[in-house]
């Protein structure tokens, strides 16, 4: 039995990690469950290009034939985009997915696990999961949040999906000691909405300060992620009140028709898309790309900062005495 994780790095990702070039991990769930073909393949390609535009190497993660593949190429993305019924694999499902030997689409949680195991320090997703409405009855809290509380890497996102209970999502992250920082914004965004109406716990405008903050957080022994939010561009965003009204109507409809559990998220997103005459799908695509570009930029600055700090590091001066 192997004691090392069954990870296969693409040659480009392997070379980048060896050379200290910044790498940004990406999920495959958005390809298999987020958009229809061919928009899903187009979105994945555009997201990878956006990471490169930011200066980093994209590492899209998927599971196939008993291996966790990190750094899918164009042909592999096309296969994930066109193969039917690929299961969604969260962090709890990874062992079974690898053992069973079939294909699996990684979620935020499982991508974070795989990225950390490979030594990748940055992960990007447009909208993270969170605490669901009605949690007092269902205990429905995304495993994304649980994994953030366990995994030390930087998560760059456009906040959490607007279909969630966002105040409780922020409260959960605070309870789990996960720093939430808004990059060049005062507010916590809500996916394709620039603001959720909630102030962010912290704002940082300087990417070097952001990198140093993350490094200090981990150097003090914390094993949690650092969640960094970046809002969608003004021209791509949807008004939060408009989206929230559609969500509330959809929640009532879900309750009336008995839709529960994992089926709720897809139902709500489709209802919002209908209520906005398809604008939410267009905004979804746009925020995937804009978030990835910022992630590439932040990963690039972070890698440069770590390299510069290492070149001037004096281990004898880590602790001083008055």
Q: What residues act catalytically? A: 27, 161
Question: Ramachandran region of residue 200, left (φ > 0), alpha (ψ -120 to 50) or beta?
Answer: beta
Q: What is the largest CA-CA distance in the chain?
A: 67
Cα 36-41-47 angle, rounded to 5 deg? 115
Residues, the chain: 322
C-alpha span between 19 and 109 (Å, rounded): 26
- Among 289, 308, 305, 309, CA closest to 121: 305
Assigned token pair, 200: 């962010």
What residues does 124 pair with on adjacent strands?
A: 156
HSE, CB side, 13 Å, CA atoms: give it for residue 171. Answer: 8
User: What CA–CA distance (Å, rounded) separates 308 from 303?
Assistant: 9
Q: Which residue has the tokens 């150097």?
A: 219
DSSP letters, 5-39, are --EEE-HHHHHHHHHT--EEEE-SHIIIIIS-TTH
Token pair, residue 84, equals 């039917």
Half-sphere exposure of 128 (CA within 13 A, CB side): 37
Tokens 């994304």 found at: 144
Neighbours of 65 (CB within 10 A): 11
CA 76 to CA 73: how far, in whole Å? 5
């Amino acid at each position: 039995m192997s004691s090392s994780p069954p990870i296969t790095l693409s040659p480009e990702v392997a070379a980048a990690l060896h050379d200290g070039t910044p790498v940004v991990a990406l999920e495959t769930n958005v390809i298999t469950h987020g958009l229809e073909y061919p928009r899903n393949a187009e979105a994945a390609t555009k997201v990878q290009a956006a990471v490169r535009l930011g200066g980093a190497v994209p590492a899209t993660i998927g599971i196939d034939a008993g291996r966790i593949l990190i750094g899918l190429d164009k042909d592999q993305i096309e296969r994930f985009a066109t193969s039917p019924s690929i299961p969604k694999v969260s962090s709890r499902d990874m062992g079974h997915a690898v053992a069973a030997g079939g294909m699996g689409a990684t979620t935020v949680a499982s991508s974070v696990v795989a990225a950390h195991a490979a030594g990748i320090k940055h992960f990007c997703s447009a909208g993270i999961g969170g605490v669901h409405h009605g949690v007092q009855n269902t205990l429905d809290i995304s495993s994304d949040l649980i994994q953030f509380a366990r995994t030390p890497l930087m998560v760059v996102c456009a906040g959490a999906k607007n279909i969630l209970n966002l105040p409780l999502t922020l409260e959960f992250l605070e309870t789990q000691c996960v720093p939430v920082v808004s990059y060049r914004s005062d507010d916590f965004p809500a996916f394709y909405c620039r603001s959720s109406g909630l102030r962010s716990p912290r704002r940082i405008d300087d990417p070097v300060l952001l990198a140093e903050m993350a490094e200090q957080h981990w150097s003090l022994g914390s094993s949690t992620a650092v969640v960094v939010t970046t809002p969608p561009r003004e021209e791509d965003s949807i008004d939060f009140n408009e989206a929230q009204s559609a969500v509330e109507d959809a929640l009532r409809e879900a309750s009336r028709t008995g839709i529960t559990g994992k089926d709720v998220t897809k139902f709500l997103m489709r209802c919002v898309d209908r209520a906005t005459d398809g604008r939410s799908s267009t905004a979804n695509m746009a925020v995937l790309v804009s978030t990835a570009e910022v992630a590439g930029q932040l990963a690039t600055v972070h890698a440069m900062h770590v390299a510069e700090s290492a070149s001037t590091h004096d281990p004898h001066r880590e602790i001083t005495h008055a």
